């Protein structure tokens, strides 16, 4: 479908189209489409823009990824369909590994996602032939790579579910999440919850990383100064402020039939 650029919600419609195409290509599962809908509802409430608290969390995320020993970007079907280039660019900017990690895992889908990321410029992508497990998770959701997620110290998990976020935190990792729902178990459990839309958050983290790359002491200072509770509080306060400011339209309503 060709979406006119003049449409007031152009960016959101493009994201929908990318996901539907990702579903047709066997990269996105139907559950992923539902997750996107939930995210969109929150994005609407936030005004479909990156908030000031999200920028603070994105800068802290950039600082943590840059100063990590073994940073890993975890990628699922939705992230691969929505932002493969952004993932590849961020991985290069912070010298992180990329690992495909799926909730609804099939080897064929892992393979297709690896291909999609490689086509978008990602260098080495882990995912096929996992050789380790995340403790505390059952079935295929636990599968990962010793060289990747298993031994990572800082992990970025876009659009992750709460259980896995919690399991990674329990392993002692610093977990950075990207999730538009500030109340999700993921946002509540992550070490650095970024409450922003994925395709805005990834380039923003990359921009901060490129700025901080030449000043690692400053990156360490930013990582230390980050206040998780204060940041989530500010996000919820912003949401409350926006909702209180919404006034019903004064125009006459459409006639009821
Ligand atoms: P949890 O287990 O953490 O409580 P959940 O059950 O809602 O959350 P999922 O159904 O896996 O977990 O949904 C993933 C989350 O991703 C949702 O909370 C949704 O708000 C968020 N999300 C979906 N699409 C985007 C997007 N494009 N950008 C940012 N967040 C998104």
Q: What is the pLDDT of residue 252?
A: 65
Q: What is the mean pLDDT of the chain?
A: 94
Residue 254 predicted with pLDDT over 70 = no
Ligand 1 centroid to Cα of residue 43, in Å, is 11
Cα 148 to Cα 92, 98, 152, distances in angstroms: 15, 8, 6
Q: Is 80 exposed, middle or buried (0-12, 13-18, 19+ CB in 10 A)?
A: buried
Q: Looking up tokens 């929505």, which residue turns up?
A: 82
Residues with Cβ within 6 A of ligand 1?
A: 35-36, 38-39, 42, 82, 159, 161-162, 178-181, 184-186, 197-198
Helices (H), 101-161: 107-119
Ligand 1 centroid to Cα of residue 197, in Å, is 10
CATH of the domain spanning 52-240: 3.40.50.12640
Q: What is the pLDDT of residue 2?
A: 75
Ligand 1 atom nearest residue 161's Cα: 2
Residue 250 predicted with pLDDT over 70 = no
CA-based nearest residue to 11, from 56, 50, 68: 50
Residue 139 predicted with pLDDT over 90 = no
pTM, rounded to two decimals: 0.94
Which residue, judged by its Cα, is nearest atom 16 of ligand 1?
Answer: 159
Q: β-strands 154-158, 143-144: how paired?
A: unpaired
For the CA atoms of the chain, what is the radius of gyration? 19
pLDDT one-digit tens code per residue, 185-202 = 999 999 999 999 999 999
- Which of 41, 51, 168, 186 is the best mutation target for the ligand 1 pocket, counting ligand atoms within 8 Å of the beta carbon and taking the most? 186
Question: What share of the chain in percent tops pLDDT 70?
Answer: 96
- CA separation for the pair 165, 227 (Å, rounded): 19
Q: At 226, is the pLDDT very low, low, confident or very high (cuts 50, 70, 90)?
A: very high
Structural domain boundaries in the chain: 52-240
């Amino acid at each position: 479908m060709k979406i006119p650029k003049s449409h007031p919600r152009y960016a959101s419609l493009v994201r929908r189209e990318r996901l539907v195409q990702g579903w047709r290509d066997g990269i996105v599962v139907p559950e992923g489409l539902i997750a996107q809908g939930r995210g969109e509802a929150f994005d609407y409430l936030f005004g479909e823009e990156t908030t000031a608290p999200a920028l603070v969390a994105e800068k802290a995320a950039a600082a943590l990824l840059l100063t990590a020993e073994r940073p890993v970007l975890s990628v699922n079907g939705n992230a691969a369909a929505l932002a493969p280039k952004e993932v590849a660019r961020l991985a290069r900017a912070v010298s992180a590994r990329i690992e495909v990690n799926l909730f609804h895992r099939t080897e064929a889908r892992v393979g297709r996602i690896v291909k999609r990321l490689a086509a978008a410029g990602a260098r080495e992508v882990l995912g096929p032939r996992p050789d380790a497990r995340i403790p505390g998770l059952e079935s295929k959701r636990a599968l990962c790579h010793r060289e990747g997620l298993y031994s990572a110290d800082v992990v970025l998990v876009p659009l992750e579910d709460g259980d896995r976020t919690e399991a990674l935190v329990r392993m002692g990792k610093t977990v950075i999440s990207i999730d538009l729902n500030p109340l999700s178990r993921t946002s509540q459990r992550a070490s650095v919850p970024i409450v922003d839309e994925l395709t805005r958050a990834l380039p923003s983290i990359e921009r901060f990383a490129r700025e901080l790359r030449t000043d690692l002491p400053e990156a360490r200072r930013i990582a230390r100064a980050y206040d998780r509770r204060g940041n989530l509080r500010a996000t919820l306060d912003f949401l409350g402020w926006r909702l209180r400011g919404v006034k019903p339209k004064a125009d006459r309503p459409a006639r009821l039939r």
